[in-house]
Structure formats: C-alpha cells, structure tokens
Structure 1
Amino acid sequence: MCDKDQALPAISNCHSASADSAALASRRRRLWELSHTCHCPLVGVGLPLAYLRKLVGKMTNGRVLADDYEVHVGAVTECGARNRLSEALQKELERRYAPVILRFRVAKSTEQVASLWRSAVANGDVAGAFWAGLTHARCDAELEEQMCRDLHMIQHQAGACVRADMGKFTALQEDHARLTHELARLQQRNQALTQEKTGELERQEAQLLRARADAIGKDAVIDALRAELAQLQAAVPELESRTRLLERLAQMDEREKELRLQITELKQAQPRPAVSAPPPAPKLEVQTGGKLKMPIRLVDQSVLCVGGRSGNVATYRALIERVGAQFAHHDGGLEDNANLLDSSLAAADLVICQTGCISHSAYWRVKDYCKRTGKRCVFIDNPSISSLARGLQEVSGELAGQGAVGTAS
C-alpha cells in the first residue's frame, strides 16, 4: 500500500538482514519474515502513530524531523529486514496483542485460522487478529492475501464511517456550542432571578420583623391600657351600676320631656273655662301635740319616701295622696335595689328620708344627691305616721310662705 520504498533518513545504524530461508512449521513468523505487502497495513492498524513516533525517536535519539507520513513509510521499509526498529516493533506487537495470540494458538489448520479471522472481522476487532493471523504458522500465502484484502476494505469502510462521524461530530460541536451559549444565558437569567427573589425574601423578612415588633408594641400598649382601666374601675366603686343608672335616668328624662310636651298640647287643646276661684285643696289636719292644726297642701307634687317600716307603706301612700301628691317609695337598700335609688330621686319633687330605717349607703347617697341638685329633702328620725305628717306640714308651711302652694313644676 505504501508506494514510497525507502528507509527512514534518521535511522543510519539499521543494517539489512536476510530472512531465514527455512522456518519451522510450528514456529510463528516474525515481522521481517512477512511479505512486504503486509507491513503497511500492519504498522498502520496495529500501532498507534503517537507510539510509532516515540519509538522512532527513541531509536534516533530524538532526531525525528519527518512528518507522520514519512515516519510511517520509513517504519514500513525497516520492517522488511531484521534490525533494531523491526525487533522493537515485533516486541511491542507481541506484548500488545498477547491475549489474541493465545486465542489463535488453538487453531491447528489454515481453515481454523481463517475462521478466527472472519469472526474477528465480524466483531470489528481486527488489529490484534490481523497480527495473530499473519504470524500464525498455519497462515499460507492465500490466507495472507485474503486477510490483506479484507483489511484494505475495512480501512475504506472505516474511512467512510470516520467521514460520516466527522460530519456528525461537527454538527454535534455546533449543537454543543449553541446549547452551551443557551445554557450560559439561562444560568445568567437564573442567577438574576435568584438574586431578585433573595432580595424580595429579605425585604419580606424585614417587613415581617417590623410587623412582629409593632404587634408586640401594640400588645404592650393594650396590656397597659387594660391595667389602667382596671385601676380606674377599682378606684370608682359601683361604676357599672352607676353607668346603667345614668342610662336609665337619661331615658326617664326623655320620657318626662315627652309627657310634659303631651300635657302642654292637651292643655292648649282644651277650651279655657271662665275665670273663677280655684277649688280648695284637700286639707289634712294633724294633731301636733297641743299646737294649732295646719292644713297640708302638696297638689301635683311627687313625694319620694325613702325608708320606713314596710307595714306602714300603705298608710304613707294614703296620707300623701290625700293631700294631692303622688307617692313613691324606696326602702333605702334593705330589700329594693340600691342602684334604683338615683332614678327615684331624679323623678321626685320632694324627698322624705326616714333615717331610722335606712342603710348608711342609701342615707349618704340621698343626702349627697339632694345637696348637689338642690332638691328639697326632709329627714325624719322616727318612722311613724305622725312624724311623716309633721314633715309634710313643715314642707307645706315653707311652700305657703313662698307663695307656691298647689302648683306643679
């Protein structure tokens, strides 16, 4: 195959050696004993080019200046004779393909060697089989030529496959470059998104911390306000009861205004009668221990009696209604709810407090309320009917002295 039949120019100490004329039938052939047509494919296929350059450089002390083709042609030429280079190549081929040589050693005939060669060609492992088959003792000239032909065609096919693979390899390189560029772009985008999400997460964590701090601060303020409210509630006794009473008093004031308005409208709607002397008010004469009897006039007055004996309430009512007043009673906190006392005080025009039958709390509440509002109040020590009558007579005398007898505010 190699048309350049010359020795390596750098190998000057390689001497020609004639092949042995009579080889033993059982001995494997040496490299220089093969035909010259086998050397080119054997060196090209059996030995890597890098190793061949290294081996030639070792033989020439590193003075290999030729290109790869010239090194190949020179090595093929030197294989025709026994010399240092051919012996080194022989040794390397034996070492490299020792397992294949052992497989071919079982062949006892040319047909068996040919069968092993065809099997190696079918499996695609021809380098070691080519060397083991050519050097086998049962390989004749016909099998040697057939093996060289087969290897020649295999090399053509390998070249075509290499060219196809090179095209695929080039396309793969282009796809690889494109995908690498796309991967780099996606990695940059992913990095940018990661940084953005990281920044957003940090901002959200900062907002969460601020919200937690605000919530803790609000909880502290709420606790402080609750404590302050509890202190204020503790400082003001019966705050809830007073609040309810104030609400009820406001409702009663509204109701009173509505009733007064209705009374005014009814008075305006009635025809005016002829002017005549007013009818005499009911009189109640009470014996006051030897003193002169005085009539009691409390027409249209609301009298609240606080305290007294429960068995005398009916007598209290009859006495007060007999002089034209409206009667209201509160036991002073003994049985009635003390919280209703303020509303009863607000609705009364005159308060009679029987101090002998009243609680201390109700007594001070009546006294404080009448002092604050200026409402007329009479305190009676003895809860008897005569004491109540004397209290009414005292109030009636004061009203008569002021010239306001029998009128309602």
Structure 2
Amino acid sequence: MTLPSPALMRTPSDAASPGPLEAPMQHPPMGAPLALACGCTAAPFPPDPPRGSRRRRVWELSRHAHCPVVGVCLPLPVVRKLVDKVLGGQAQASDYELHCGVNTECRERGAIAEAVQKELDRRYAAALRQTQRLKTTVALADWWAAQRHGRDVPGALWATLSHPRCDAILEEQVLADIHMLQHQNGAADRADLARLETLLQENEVLARELGAAQQRCVQQAADHARRLEATQAQLVRARADLIGRDTLVAGLQDELRALEAAVPSLRSRDELTRQVAHQIERIQDLERALLRTRHELERERHRAGEALAALHATRANGPASPVGDADEAAPVPPPLGDRAVLCVGGRAASLSAYRRVIEDVGGRFLHHDGGEEDKVARLDDTLQAADLVICQTGCISHNAYWRVKDHCKRTGKRCLFVENPSQASLKRALAEWAPPVPDEA
C-alpha cells in the first residue's frame, strides 16, 4: 500500500520530474557550513533560542543539524518504521531518499517531525535527564566534550543540540565533532573489515585444523572403544574362569566334607601315613646298621679263617711265605668277554690294582667312589652302563648302597658284595660269578 507524499512517496508518473528527494547534490565551496557537506540547503544561523528552560524541538534546530541528528541518532530501520506508521503505508524510497525526505520533513512541524521528536525523547531520556542540571553554555560544552568519546554519542548529540543553552557556536562545534567522528568511524569500520577478513582466513585455517583434530579424536575414540571392548571381553572371560575355579573348589570342598562324613578317621589316616613313612625310614636305618654289623662279623671271621689257615700251613710246610703270596693264592677270575664291570667304593690306592685284575680277564673297568667325592646323582648313569656291579660295602655311603641295591633289583643285574677292599677279595668275588660262555662261531 502506497500513499502520496510530496517528500517521501513516489509514483511511476513522477519519474519524469525530479522531486524533492531527487534534487541533485551540489558540492559546497571551501569553508561552507557543515550542512552543505551533508547535502542540505545552506541557510543562515537562526537567532539564539530564548533563554528559557524549554528544550528545542527538532523542527526548531538549524537546517544543517537535521542530517546528523537523523543519521546518527536514529537507525535507518527505525526511521522507515516511523514513516510507515505515520503515512499508513510502506515507503518505496531507497535508504538515501528516505534519509533526505525525513530531513526535509523535520524542517517544519508535521506528523513525521513530531514522530521523530517523540522517538528521540524516548530513546535518549537518560541523556536528557543528565543535562537538566546544566544551566550554562560552558557547562553544556564541557559535558559534550566528556561524552563525545563515550558509548552513548547519539544520546549526547541529541541532548546537547536540543538543550536550551546550546548556542550557534556550540552547535557548530558539536556538528564538526560528529562529522569527524563519522570519518573516524568509517576508517575504523574499514580497519575492522580488514581485521574481519584476516580473522575469517584464520578461522578457515583453524576450522580445517579443528576438523583434522576432530577426526583424530574420533579415530582415537574408536580405537579406545575397541580396546575397551577387548578388555571387557577379557574381563568377562577372566570372571568366567574365576567362577569355574570357585565352582571346582566348592565341589572339592563338598567332596572332602562328604568323605570326612563317610570316613570319620580320614584325618587320622593321613597322620598314620606320615607315621608309617617315618617308621620305614627308621627301618631302613636299622637295616643299614645291621648290614654293617654283618659285614664286620664276616670280616672278622674271614680274618680268623686266614689266620687259622696260615697257622696250619706253617705247621705243615715250615716258615711262612711272603705277604704277596696271599694274592697269588686267590682264584683266577673267569673271562669277562668285554663286559663293563662297575666297582662302587674301594680305596683310592687300590684302583689301579682293581683295573688290572678286571682288564686282565677281558673286562672294561668302571668306578664310582660311592659318594665320597663323586656325586651320588651320577651313580645312576654309571649303573646303566655296567653289566656287572661289585659293591665295596665297607667303603660306600648308605645312600649309594641303597641306590645300587635298588637298581640291581629293578634291572636284574648281578651285584657282588665285597666286604674286604683288597685285590684278593675282588678276585674271589669275580670267581664266584660265572658269566655265560659265548657260543663259538
């Protein structure tokens, strides 16, 4: 909806003739008033306002003051809204035409001028209250100088220009300050635009970096989720294993309680088993002691027999023969046929004689000292390699003796026990063992 207005409204038929809003702008000469620089018609300053307390209305201001007041104090959307409300339609003029038309309407009192006056008083009521206590032009000028660089420059502009103590000189100074502030604001806006462009470029770079960081975070979160899932699976398996072990332990405990209930003397039987093992160990010790005693008795009996034989020989044949004749009178061992003969125990000084006796009849001599210096653990390997075992019972440890006896019992090997560790005793022991004669080819 459009309504005719000589200053603000245009119709297609008016395009041929320029209206007030289309009047061409003329460049003001150097030194002309600020109104000419703003596109307004120059006019001499009005006389000083009366020195009463009533503020000046917008249509009472100088013509060159309307442009800064409307442009600075009222945002353009507010101006368009006021014009639409007053005219009851929608203004079709451009922003510049609307600005110039409102300036023209504010030169005289009218509906638009009164609407502008009311909006300015409402919008800047706080600034108007601050200037009410200013009673002189100097005080008003000082207040303006303090407020022109503050945050509410539009309010300070309207409160100063409409104040009853604002004369032509102060008005010109205020409009000059506003003019320069607009230039400064324009430069600041251009600098802000340059900074904004720089910030936008930096924002693009940061946005790309942020996107890459977000992708890395998403990847790390996915990896963490996979590791967490694997850990949770391991935890579930561990819990299942623990439950299985607990179930097994509970079952075993139930079985133990059932056995204890069925066999009340189960614990006493365990104690009896330990006692039996202890008694077996004592029996083995007693057997070893008994064996030593028997060996000593046999040795004493053998010595007595030899002494008796020597006495009879002395009586029958005369003087006794040398000591070495006892070994020569010992029986000759049978051929061993490359068999391995292990001598366990014996004196170290007699080892060469033992070796000579065994090797003279074709055997292979093996020896173990029975745990005196050689390790008893090596005895088992030596026993495995022997075909015949000769145990020197008088020169062997108890542990080695039982190892020899147990091995020969398990494997069926012949074991000859020799009480006296002498060469003659070894020959007699070998003579008692008659190995099978190998068949001739």
TM-score, normalised relative to structure 1: 0.54
Residue 210 of structure 1 is matched in structure 2 by 237
1:192-341 pair list within 5 angstroms: 192-222=219-249, 224-225=251-252, 228=256, 233=267, 238-249=272-283
Residue 148 of structure 2 is matched in structure 1 by 121
Q: Deviations over 1:205-253 (max 9, x none)?
A: 3423432442343344346556548665556772211122334445666
Cα distance in 1 for partners of 2:297, 2:235 equals 66
Q: Which residue identity lines up with residue 25 of structure 1 in the other structure?
A: R
Residue 112 of structure 2 is matched in structure 1 by 85
Shift of 1:95: 1.0
Residue 153 of structure 1 is matched in structure 2 by 180
Does the C-alpha gap of structure 1 residues 271 and 183 become closer, same or farther in structure 2, counting only changes over 3 Å? Answer: farther
Cα distance in 1 for partners of 2:77, 2:269 equals 107
Q: Deviations over 1:118-177 (max 9, x none)?
A: 111143532112111111222222211111111100111111112222222232333334
**Residues 1:167 and 2:194 are matched in the alignment:** yes
Shift of 1:44: 0.9
**Residues 1:31 and 2:65 are matched in the alignment:** no
Q: Which residue identity lines up with residue 240 of structure 1 in the other structure?
A: R
User: 2:68 touches 2:178 (CA, 8 Å); kept in 1?
Assistant: yes
Q: Which residue identity lines up with residue 76 of structure 2 in the other structure?
A: L
Q: Which residue identity lines up with residue 75 of structure 1 in the other structure?
A: V
Does the C-alpha gap of structure 1 residues 95 and 160 become closer, same or farther in structure 2, counting only changes over 3 Å? Answer: same
- How well do the aligned residues superpose, as a CA RMSD in angstroms? 4.0
* Structure 2 unaligned residues grouped into runs of 5+: 1-5, 15-19, 21-45, 313-441
SS of 2:88 mapped into structure 1: coil
SS of 2:148 mapped into structure 1: helix
Cα distance in 2 for partners of 1:258, 1:10 equals 147
Cα distance in 1 for partners of 2:290, 2:84 equals 132
**Residues 1:49 and 2:76 are matched in the alignment:** yes
Cα distance in 1 for partners of 2:293, 2:92 equals 135
Cα distance in 1 for partners of 2:123, 2:132 equals 16
SS of 1:45 mapped into structure 2: helix
Q: 1:65 aligns with which of 75, 92, 95?
A: 92
1:105-120 pair list within 5 angstroms: 105-120=132-147
Does the C-alpha gap of structure 1 residues 269 and 142 become closer, same or farther in structure 2, counting only changes over 3 Å? Answer: farther
Shift of 1:255: 7.5
Q: Deviations over 1:368-393 (max 9, x none)?
A: xxxxxxxxxxxxxxxxxxxxxxxxxx
Q: Which residue identity lines up with residue 9 of structure 2 in the other structure?
A: P
Cα distance in 1 for partners of 2:285, 2:234 equals 50
Q: Deviations over 1:57-106 (max 9, x none)?
A: 22343432233222222222222222211111111011111121122222
SS of 1:123 mapped into structure 2: coil
Does the C-alpha gap of structure 1 residues 224 and 132 become closer, same or farther in structure 2, counting only changes over 3 Å? Answer: closer
User: 1:79 touches 1:85 (CA, 8 Å); kept in 2?
Assistant: yes
Cα distance in 1 for partners of 2:224, 2:302 equals 83
User: 2:8 touches 2:91 (CA, 8 Å); kept in 1?
Assistant: no
User: 1:233 touches 1:239 (CA, 8 Å); kept in 2?
Assistant: no
